Amino acid sequence: MNLSFHRLAKLAAIIAFCVIVLGAWVRLSHAGLGCPDWPGCYGQLTWPEATHEIDTANQAFPERPFESTKAWREMVHRYLAGILMLLVFALSWKSWRGSQADSSFRLWTTALVILIIFQALLGMWTVTLKLKPIIVMAHLLGGLTSFSMLLWLVFSSRYPVSGRPAMAVRRMHSAIAAGIAVLALQIALGGWTSANYAALACPDVPMCTGQWWPETNFREGFILWREVGVDYEGGILDQQSRVAVHLAHRIGAVVTLIVLGVLAMRLSRIPQLRTGGRLLMTLLLAQFTLGVLNVALFLPLANAIAHNAGAALLLATLLGLLNKSSTQSY
């Protein structure tokens, strides 16, 4: 089937979103080390199933006995990420060998190939370095960056429209870009919170352990690089450090709510951006609610996964608005 560049980019963006959501499911269900080796699983192309394969796996990795539910989740995630890599390679090939219109995306697709290869290395290091927090967070941010670049290709390769956006639309470009920066910082804080198992460091809301400002250790909580060889599954930070990480994410959530809320209201006043502004406000309120429910309901798996998906959808909405407010015509 001969897919156009736009359709291929759209398919890759959808797969990238699925990889992000599936990765959240793997991480939050504690299956990140469901396969302690890479790229296979206990030496298998898929995962051990027969009794003798499981026995061999347990002998090879006595420190991490085989668990079927964790292993297949991790491998399905790897397979889907592999499909995404092939799609990115296909996009790059199409930009270099396809039509003249496709050739304008060569820089983007080449950067995507480099990023997706680095993302695969981060996936390997996530396993081999035993969920080292900085690697886990970088892997999350790399996935969202890949998703963002694919979305930009989708928006930029649409059927061209004539004329430039209205002046009122173009004036919102910088504000939307600032909103993306704020959201990116908040996503990074969320990734750091998750990687350090600090999501329930404050088990109550709006206070934290019954206090508005409990004892914290921000210096220890935000040491980015720690020793290699430690098993970081379950987290190694003490309570005060985890509280510091959690509170930073909470404060960031309030700042993000205010900044993006004001932006959504401004967008809603502009006819051409009204739909996007309303969608942004809806997703923003839903995301904030999911964050509160994560604490109030003690991090239910479905809710936590939805919170990760919500961050990706917020990013996608802002990128669509940024593209629409661009001075170029697509």
Residues with a catalytic annotation lie at 74
C-alpha count within 13 angstroms, C-beta hemisphere, residue 144: 26
Residue 119, Cα to own-chain centre: how many angstroms?
12
Rounded Cα gap, residues 288 and 306, in angstroms: 11
Residues paired with residue 211 on neighbouring β-strands, in sequence order: 208
Per-residue tokens: 243: 């509280």
68-97 and 133-156 helices, crossing angle to 10°: 40
Rounded Cα gap, residues 160 and 186, in angstroms: 34
Per-residue tokens: 14: 């959808």
Using a 10 angstrom Cβ sphere, with 0-12 exposed, 13-18 middle and 19 or more buried, the burial of residue 9 is buried
Rounded Cα gap, residues 153 and 148, in angstroms: 9
Nearest to 133 by CA among 208, 53, 198: 198
Are 87 and 73 in contact by the 8 Å Cβ rule? The answer is no
Are 44 and 36 in contact by the 8 Å Cβ rule? The answer is no
